[in-house]
Amino acid sequence: MAKKGKKSGEELFEEYYASRWEERWDSLKASLFEEVSHYSLTENLEQAYYLDEASLYPPKELDVQEGESVLDMCAAPGGKSLILATTLKGSGSLTVNDLSPDRRRRLRQVMENHLRPEWQGNIRYTGYDGSLWYRHEPDWYDKILLDAPCSSERHVLNSPEHLKKWTPGRIKSLAPRQFALLCSALETVKPGGLIVYSTCALAAEENDLIIERLHKKRKGRFTVEPTLFTAGEETRYGRHILPDRDGAGPIYYCRIRRLS
Ligand SMILES: C[S@@+](CC[C@H](N)C(=O)[O-])C[C@H]1O[C@@H](n2cnc3c(N)ncnc32)[C@H](O)[C@@H]1O
């Protein structure tokens, strides 16, 4: 229980999101308690993999072509990596990275259990801190998917333990990490290459405001491109798929083309 005079995590969470989503918050919040309707990914897989339908969009927006070099910077457990791998069909190269050893083990399992053996030879598994990647492989990849660690409000709301501990500090500490990952991706993709930045966060601080900051700090180095698909709602820089209106998500994504 919260101490007298001190707001509980649940109260802080409510206050924070209600003030941002205003009259939409009640329906948005209710939709986050509803079970995710899982999409069954089967095309070109050995067995079906289930994921939120909104998760299909970030890897599809990367528009991967056979023969390209692709980095999935925060890849575990691997639903989006599977989509990238089935697009490459064993050609080019796919580096699937995740900092967490446990999640990396799960990632390898997912790839090995679902992907055709003949499409596994081009895959490299790594466990680096993505925010430092640019030091090792600058100007390296044709395309990068950066599905960043984020607030995951759906998860927080559905976990009493996480909700109890929630403070706005959670967003404040995640946003600089997300920004560092994006800056690193910008140096790691080749000039002319494409990054898709995505999160499953509701908070604009982790979505459009990260891109806004990139505009301020890396002016002239990139351009935001229109998305290929029109799922969800248009935001300043990308799109947001939200469960109250789309029955899937939350997923935010934005396409960033490196210029120089
Ligand atoms: C949103 S999840 C990725 C979900 C995954 N793309 C998928 O579709 O299954 C974010 C992942 O980033 C990883 N991560 C967190 N910080 C990282 C860092 N600095 N470098 C690389 N991975 C990181 C976490 O372990 C987590 O697995």
pLDDT in tens, 182-201: 999 999 999 999 999 999 99
Domain count, the chain: 1
Ligand 1 pocket mutation pick from 95, 98, 181, 183 by most atoms within 8 angstroms of CB: 98
pLDDT in tens, 241-256: 999 999 999 999 999 9
Please give the pLDDT value at position 4: 67
| H/E segment holding residue 32 | helix 25-33
Pocket flag, ligand 1, residue 80 (CB < 6 Å): yes
Pocket flag, ligand 1, residue 111 (CB < 6 Å): no
50 in a domain, yes or no? yes
Strands 189-199 and 49-52 turn out to be unpaired
Ligand 1 pocket mutation pick from 57, 74, 125, 206 by most atoms within 8 angstroms of CB: 74
2 in a domain, yes or no? no
Confidence label for 1 from pLDDT (cuts 50, 70 and 90): low
161 in a domain, yes or no? yes
How many Å lie between the centroid of ligand 1 and the Cα of residue 99? 7
Range of the domain at 139: 9-258
The residue among 54, 3, 51 whose CA lies nearest residue 200 is 54
226 in a domain, yes or no? yes
What Å distances lie between residue 160 and 10, 155, 244, CA to CA? 9, 10, 22
156 in a domain, yes or no? yes
Do the beta carbons of residue 229 and residue 61 sit within 8 Å? yes
Tell me, yes or no, if the pTM score tops 0.95: yes
**Catalytic: 183?**
no
Write the residue with the smallest CA distance to atom 10 of ligand 1.
Answer: 149
Amino acid, single-letter form, for residue 142: D
128 in a domain, yes or no? yes
Least confident of 18-22, 37-41, 132-136: 37-41
pLDDT in tens, 206-223: 999 999 999 999 999 999
The CATH number for 246's domain is 3.40.50.150
CA distance 126 to 60: 22
3 in a domain, yes or no? no
246 in a domain, yes or no? yes
pLDDT in tens, 124-141: 999 999 999 999 999 999
Mean pLDDT, residues 157-161 taken together: 96
